[in-house]
Structure 1
Amino acid sequence: MQKVLGERFTVLAVNHPMGNFLDAFYHTGYYYTFVGIMQVLAALLLLIPRTVVLGALIYLPIILNICILSLAVRFDGSQITSPLMLCAVLFLLCWNYHSIKHIFPFNYLQVNSVLPKKEELTKRFPLKFFTGVFAVVLFVVFHTRLFYDIMPRNSYSDCITQCTTENDKGCYTFCDCIHKQGKSLEICLEELNNVP
């Protein structure tokens, strides 16, 4: 709703890679408001069972963009939640595949023989499904936490908490580069790699 109302939705410094992006995004004018309207519309459509497929189709490109952006700039704020939200919308689309399968140029007979019809689903506790969901959540959490050796974090003080010792020159150089000098993530990572 903050986007719809034309307000900023973050207090990240412009020096932070995500803060820089969000500041530029805020200054796009009606595009910023349009994205907010589409997010609210998708949320409302997802709440109504009859329109859940339309809501999921609208939300898919939005959350895919947020997910890729969060991973690209190593943003702590949505690094775990956005991949999980992407998985959730993909699950909704798979669950409602019978409603959207006709837009795909596949052989419908093969698809119908592989996927059960909605009426054939049982009320048994879906142990396999919840085991799979649990495995995906664990994978996302561990992958996002262990994938990067250093992150910009949200502030300089948060960033230097990653530095293992006071002599970790590379870590301090990276945090200073991002938060105090305001250089891009690529330049700061290059400087980090050049520190002996």
Structure 2
Amino acid sequence: MATNEIKLGINLRQNKNARNAGYGKYYPEIDTQTTLSLRGFAKHMSDHGSIYSLDIIEGVLKKITQCLPELISQGVPVRMEPLGTFVPTCDVEKPILNIAAMENADPNEVVKGVHIRFLPYGVEDDNITSRRFKQEFCSLEFRNIVDTVKVTVDGKEKKVTTLKPIATAVAEYKSGQGTSAGTSPSPSQGGGNNPGGTGGGSNVPSDGPNGD
């Protein structure tokens, strides 16, 4: 069982796609917080009883950010036990039509771009699968009902994320004060600003079950 005292917040988003089988139901998504910088991550590590100073840890992390792209650019995957492996992948600009066309082909014209991808472990004895990570590291708690709404600011339409505490929505539902447990129309003032999350009032809608 997880022993982490800091809770992992879970928000709920309603499926508003009427053509989806899950229409009207609420699905979980992580309440993400402010993204930690490299120095912030190094400080977090040094504060955990490490024998190494903040500067040493930060130096090692910076070296990783230099060496990892170098190895990936050479086609060398890098494994970080027990988290997973960094691997190179590529996008296609245009495929080669046949074997005859390979003779004079230029790989720079075939490959559009190269990515650094991270593949979580799922097969090793010491792997951290999603279920094991949840069980051993995460203490979950419900926080908010989250929604993405369109508002007009200075004549321009934009999307904002709204949050309503789940406890508030439940209390309103029980008292009959609201016809639904939807979110309030005011923009979120949450604690983070990580794009794609819901902790910081991100304007980017989640890739949830809405099918948008």
- Normalising by the smaller structure, the TM-score range is under 0.3
* Greater C-alpha radius of gyration: 2
Indicate the structure whose relative CO is greater, using CA pairs within 8 Å and at least 6 residues apart. Answer: 2
Structure in which a larger fraction of residues adopt helix: 1
TM-score of the superposition, structure 2-length normalised? 0.23
